[in-house]
Structure 1
Amino acid sequence: MTAEGTQTRTVVVERELPFPPNRVWRALTEPHLMAEWLMKTDFAPVQGHRFTLRGDWGGILDCEVLEIEPPERLVYSWVFPSDDPAYRLDSVVSFTLTPIASGTHLRVEQTGFAPDQKQAYGGAHAGWKGMLGKLADILAGLDG
């Protein structure tokens, strides 16, 4: 919510992956795998754990594990700090894994975009699509 109480926007990207939920979960929670499809990180799959995501573009995101239910749901804060309100992003990312006959349905939801953050919103939508493409490539190379 912004100071005016305006509703925030949410990015949702869904993908069916031909891999079992446990394999997808590994790629969502093991730092060396996260670095290959998302960003470099000191993530630990523990509720309350604070960690950073470091982008190749030089940005650093401050995060905290808010909810974890292996291998079904992972939720963490996703904060890009900035003194400029147009660039500051205080959001929450949720990953929901649902077993399906062909593997796993993955839903990624990022909430918290202010209505005037059109560039960040559009960038997140395109970014998650690209990252899930990389995730699928990483999963194909994993055992189990």
Structure 2
Amino acid sequence: MAEFKIVCEYPHPPRKVWRAVTDPALIPYWTSTGKGARAEGFEPVPGTRFRYVAKPVPGWRGIVDCEVTEVREPELLAYTWAGAEGEVPSHVRYRLEPVARGTRFTYHHTGFTGIGGFVMARVLGSVRRRMLTVGLPALLAELDDAGVLHPGAALRLKTTR
């Protein structure tokens, strides 16, 4: 079974990082570095079914079906992830920990099976690393400590559909 884990530290308080990664209005700013998925129907509440909707590409319909499985605000969010209809879901966990200079954020995606799962873990791992090292820091820099975009923020969303 394949998986990947990305650990980043951000010089921002956990509540601000939590807001950036769980507010549906903010999520598209950092997923795929501003051209990523909209979280439709998302709420950080166990049992919530939602989907990420992004621009389709050859071989992928542009939709990921998800269900929130665990929440401990502002330290843990877990959900299932199915990128194709009928696919056995994999599992995503966000863990936020306060550290001396801000927040340690761990993104862990598990449950990829077979050779296709191995390939998908490699592809998604590369994409997620860019989101978490480029996209999320850019968004966090544009938010106040309450997690609200500064007036006149330079970030712009690209159309996903």
Report the alpha carbon displacement of residue 82 of structure 1 after superposing the two structures with TM: 4.5
User: Under a length normalisation based on structure 1, what TM-score does the superposition of the two structures give?
Assistant: 0.87
Matched, 1:67 2:81: no
**Which residue number in structure 1 is paired with residue 158 of structure 2?**
none
**Which residue number in structure 2 is paired with residue 122 of structure 1?**
122
Q: Tell me the percent identity.
A: 35
**Which residue number in structure 2 is paired with residue 3 of structure 1?**
none
Matched, 1:80 2:79: no
Q: Which runs of 5+ in 1 are unaligned?
A: 1-7
The superposition leaves residues 56-92 of structure 1 with CA deviations (integer Å, 9 ceiling, x where unpaired) of: 2351000011000000000011111257xxxx46211
User: Under a length normalisation based on structure 2, what TM-score does the superposition of the two structures give?
Assistant: 0.78
Report the alpha carbon displacement of residue 131 of structure 1 after superposing the two structures with TM: 1.1
CA–CA separation in structure 2 for the residues paired with 1:89 and 1:54: 19
**Which residue number in structure 2 is paired with residue 53 of structure 1?**
52
The superposition leaves residues 17-72 of structure 1 with CA deviations (integer Å, 9 ceiling, x where unpaired) of: 11100000001110010111121012111111000001223510000110000000
**Which residue number in structure 2 is paired with residue 96 of structure 1?**
95
CA–CA separation in structure 2 for the residues paired with 1:90 and 1:45: 18
Q: Which runs of 5+ in 2 are unaligned?
A: 32-36, 146-161
CA–CA separation in structure 1 for the residues paired with 2:135 and 2:55: 15
Aligned residues: 133
CA contact (8 A) 1:13 1:129 kept: yes
Letter in 2 for 1:33: L
Report the alpha carbon displacement of residue 9 of structure 1 after superposing the two structures with TM: 1.4
Matched, 1:9 2:2: yes
More strand by share: 1
* SS of residue in 1 equivalent to 2:28: helix
CA contact (8 A) 1:80 1:89 kept: no
CA–CA separation in structure 2 for the residues paired with 1:11 and 1:53: 20
**Which residue number in structure 2 is paired with residue 40 of structure 1?**
38
CA–CA separation in structure 1 for the residues paired with 2:90 and 2:20: 21
Cα RMSD of the aligned pairs, angstroms, is 1.4
Runs of 4+ in 1 over 4 A off after TM superposition: none
**Which residue number in structure 2 is paired with residue 4 of structure 1?**
none
